[in-house]
A = this chain, B = another copy of it.
Amino acid sequence: MVDTGENEDVSRVKEPAASGIPEEIAASLCTCGGIEGLENMLPSDAYLERVSARHRACADPIRLKILAMLAIQPLCVCVIKAVLGIADSKLSYHLGVLKKAGLIRGEQQVNWIIYSLTDEGAECLDR
């Protein structure tokens, strides 16, 4: 029962411009409980934070390429480096971003660290 204006004046109801909201929007806003109702339909801030963090981790072509490689098979850092042709520390940075986002995991083998996709990382790819 949220209304768009103060509504003391009937002429205003015809012209919601006075309250700053276009007619059609106001009308369908009412069907979902006005601005307050709309707010309640939205995901929580915590959820939005989590989802945006996942997008942020995927927001770089190098990292996307790493994910694509690991989707083919788990790989050690040296192979990833050979394919990407970037500096060690740069690669390490991007691996760190993906790892912190929970998209990949690294397992220490004898001499090397083998990286592989997590379930969440795999999901990222078919999206």
Q: How many copies does the complex hold?
A: 2
Considering the chains assembled together, what is the distance between the CA atoms of A72 and B34 in angstroms?
A: 12
Smallest beta-carbon distance A120→chain B, Å? 13
A52 within 8 A of B: yes
Using known A-B contacts A64-B51, A68-B42, determine if residue A22 contacts B111 with beta carbons closer than 8 Å: yes
Say what secondary structure dominates the interface of chain A: helix
A48 within 8 A of B: yes
| Chain A: interface size category | 35 or more
**B48 pairs with A109, CB closer than 8 A:** no
Residues of B near A51 (CB, < 8 A) are 58, 61, 64
Residues of B near A39 (CB, < 8 A) are 83
Known: A21-B78, A22-B110, A25-B76. 4 other contacts (CB 8 A): A25-B75, A29-B73, A32-B72, A52-B64
